[in-house]
Amino acid sequence: MTMSRTKYKHLFQPIQLGKTLFRNYNPDIAGKNIVIMGGGLVGLELGIFLAEKECNITIVEMAPGTVATPPPVEGTSNRMSGIMDIPLGFPLVHGVALKEQLKSLSNMKVCASTKAVEVIDEGLIVEDVNGKRTIKADTIIYAIGQKPLREEALALSDCAPEFYQVGDCVIPKDIYEATSTAYQAAIDIGRF
């Protein structure tokens, strides 16, 4: 995705959100039309928060679904679609709760299977099966997931007699996963 020089003073990343939009939410700064790149828990929860503040929200998600809107699986009902394909640690209950909240928010739209291409003055250029189009926005929020940096972590493996990878260098997930793998590594130290 490219970000040309634009009028966007407010291209927020999640760490900045806590300091700017959440604590001192100011509709004059955020504007009325907000696009959130990323349909994970952070993107969806922020979208719901802003939709409840009467903003028009568009979530752009590259995957075929989100935790609240999983893609349908052939041969299953919509209600239980893909339930057996959910990976360990998936926030199923949280996803169900978010799905219920989304039903009540007519000013929030989720665009799954949609790729962010470029940030421009008018908003965000996206691409889906129908081609490229522009979603108009006053503010664009970056809430896209992370990829693990396994090679960088492995480069440190010779620095100590024992080496364990925990948290986001294994797979970016949540605090529970990070502390669980860290706990397991801690109790394994010296055992092998």
DSSP annotation of 87 reads P
pLDDT in tens, 146-185: 777 778 888 888 888 888 888 777 777 777 777 888 888 8
pTM of the model: 0.66
Average pLDDT over residues 51-74: 84
pLDDT in tens, 70-123: 666 565 555 544 554 555 555 667 778 888 899 999 999 999 999 999 998 899
Extents of the domains making up the chain? 2-142, 150-188
The single-letter code of the amino acid at 40 is G
Q: Architecture of domain 2-142 in CATH?
A: 3-Layer(bba) Sandwich (3.50)
- More reliable by pLDDT, 192 or 188: 188
Kind and range of the H or E run holding 48 = helix 41-52
Q: Which of 15, 124, 10, 7 is nearest to 59 (CA)?
A: 124
pLDDT in tens, 129-157: 999 999 999 989 888 877 777 788 888 88
